[in-house]
Structure 1
Amino acid sequence: MKRIEFLGSPMDVATMEETVSYIEQRVSAGGFLQHVVVNVAKLVNMQKDPQLAESVKSCDVINIDGMGVVWGARLLGHRVPQRVAGVDLFHNLLAMSERNNFPIFLLGATDDVVKKTVAKSHELYPNLNIAGFNDGYFWDDEEALVDKIAQSGAKLLFVAITSPKKENFINKWQDKLGVDFVMGVGGTFDVVAGKVNRAPLWMQNSGLEWFYRVLQEPRRMWKRYLVTNSKFAWLLLKEKLGS
């Protein structure tokens, strides 16, 4: 996979197929592989949060999630074949894990949502080995949770916690998690569990998935997207004028 520098951040420009194949090879070989997807909000927040920036840049695979970043990278002359959305990659990796009998661990969201995610995952992938799961409210004893993951025998860990908490948690504990692959999946469990609906495909491809989120959760989302999208446009403009 080719890696580029975009607004001071490294990113891998790869297709979904290339990403899944690479992860499958690395997990089969053993070791440790850390993955993250970057969208507009995360890229903007990395400019002012050194800890988040370091957590992201230390990852082995950094995919572009969000059409805004894809279009921005292309505007600056980078060849980006496609967006690799976190929720789509999650499903592809569950299917890959089922084929290879790789045990997985699901971490994050509320207790109800993570249990529904486990049930839905078993429904979609009947032979999937789910070695364990836990909600995202463990901050009073992180070490006990890390031990639980390490003792589960899982090879892949999916962390559905908001940024920058998930990136910093993974970066902090990576040497003790005992897994071969870890990926932050943000709000993916909410989608899988049916708590949040995903935007129609035409909105995803048109870069309007963020707007669909605002329509579903206007109080929580409107300010976040207004601020981050405006800052991202300004960063792009400065980079374009300076190039």
Structure 2
Amino acid sequence: MEEKRLNTASILGVHFHAVTMEQAVDLAMSRLRARQQGYVVTPNPEIVDLCRRDSAFMGIVNHATLVLPDGIGIIYAAKILGETLCGKVAGIEFAENLAAAMAREGMRLYLLGAKPGVAEQAGANLCAKYPGLVLAGTHDGYFTDAQEAVEAINACGGADVVFVCLGAPKQEKFIADNMEDIHATLFCGLGGSLDVFAGVAKRAPDIFIKLGLEWFYRLLKQPSRIGRMMKLPLFLLTVIRERLFGGRGK
């Protein structure tokens, strides 16, 4: 499945690929086998808002090999705007499905990000769950010089895939600035996924995820997130204004 044939949905200037989870993983694996370098981003409403405020970041996101709709807010926005998406493709679920596919072909994964020790535990857990997956190496996200991380990845002999978990927009900018110097094929910006893979943090129960209420579960667990959660209704109001007025009056 070639990315040039993929349909896209434009949400406030961010061009999401209209793919299912299976299609996303198949495309990623095709690029890995062909050794075609690229990167995957997983924008949610907060990241779309960052893109609207930072044109350089918008360009990085829109030039990704895959732009996956991570968050029910993106799906709601597509419906409001009359755009077509195949459904939510959560970054952490994409990462796990990709790891499973990589394991079947003995591919190498490098984990970059989180607090010291977290990436190592995440890697151990993923390799235990998916026999055949090779952990090329790990590095925490607490580096001040990007060259340090670049050299660490290259020193281990490189990797097929690098999960870059530094938070947005840092992770996407790191990928765009450094990928040509790193001996790896595919880079995936995945936020706090390593904490979940390591067992440091937990996702919402399946019922919340299926109902599109993962954000509500997070709010119940951490009421202090209320400020961040208020961004979702504001995002949807911006989308409605875009639909009604074509973005006039921004």
TM-score norm. by structure 2 comes to 0.91
1:170 aligns with 2:189: no
Q: Which amino acid aligns with 1:36?
A: V
Q: C-alpha displacement at 1:193, in angstroms?
A: 1.4
Q: What is residue 3 of structure 2 aligned with on the other side?
A: none
CA distance in 2, matches of 1:66, 1:213: 13
The answer for the alignment partner of 1:201 in structure 2 is 206
Is residue 241 of structure 1 aligned with residue 220 of structure 2?
no
Which of 192, 195, 203 is residue 190 of structure 1 equivalent to? 195
Q: 8 Å contact 1:103–1:154 — kept in the other structure?
A: yes
CA distances 1:6-52 after superposition (whole Å, capped 9, x unpaired): 21111101000001111111110012111101111111121112232
Find the aligned partners of 2:244 and 2:211 in 1 and give their Cα distance.
Answer: 25
Q: 1:46 aligns with which of 45, 51, 56?
A: 51
Q: 1:97 aligns with which of 75, 78, 102?
A: 102
Q: Report the Cα distance in structure 1 between the residues aligned to 2:116 and 2:7, rounded to whole angstroms.
A: 38
d(CA) in 1 for partners of 2:34, 2:113: 27
Output aligned runs, 1:109-124, within 5 Å.
109-124=114-129
CA distance in structure 2 between the partners assigned to 1:144 and 1:241 by the alignment: 48
35-44 or 230-239: bigger deviation: 230-239
- Contact 1:161 / 1:187 at 8 angstroms: preserved in 2? yes
Check the 8 A contact 1:51/1:168 in 2, yes or no. no
Q: Is the contact made by 1:102 and 1:129 (CA closer than 8 Å) also made in structure 2?
A: yes
Indicate whether 1:82 and 2:87 are aligned. yes
> In structure 1, what is the Cα distance between the partners aligned to 2:128 and 2:218?
26
The one-character-per-residue Cα deviations of 1:83-113 (angstroms, maximum 9, x if unpaired) are 1111111111111111111111000001122
Partners of 1:154 and 1:51 lie apart in 2 by 27
* Contiguous gaps of at least 5 residues in structure 1: none
Cα drift, residue 115 of structure 1: 1.9
Q: Say yes or no: does 1:150 pair with 2:154.
A: yes
Give the fraction of aligned pairs with identical amino acids, expressed as a percent.
Answer: 31
Displacement after TM superposition at 1:151 (Å): 3.3
Distance 1:174 1:197 in 2: 30
Distance 1:217 1:52, change over 3 A: farther
Q: Is the contact made by 1:160 and 1:186 (CA closer than 8 Å) also made in structure 2? A: yes
Q: What are structure 2's unaligned runs of at least 5 residues?
A: 1-5
CA contact (8 A) 2:80 2:240 kept: no
Distance in structure 2 (CA, Å) of the matches to 1:209 and 1:52:
26
- What is the match of residue 229 of structure 1? 232
One-letter amino acid of the counterpart of residue 183, structure 2: G
Q: Which SS does the other structure have where 1:46 is aligned?
A: helix
1:184 is displaced (CA, Å) by 0.7
Letter in structure 2 aligned against 1:105:
Y
The alignment of Structure 1 onto Structure 2 pairs a total of residues equal to 240
Indicate which of 50, 65, 69 corresponds to 2:70.
Answer: 65
TM-score by length of 1: 0.94
Q: Please give the alpha-carbon distance, in whole angstroms, between the structure 1 residues aligned to 2:163 and 2:139.
A: 11
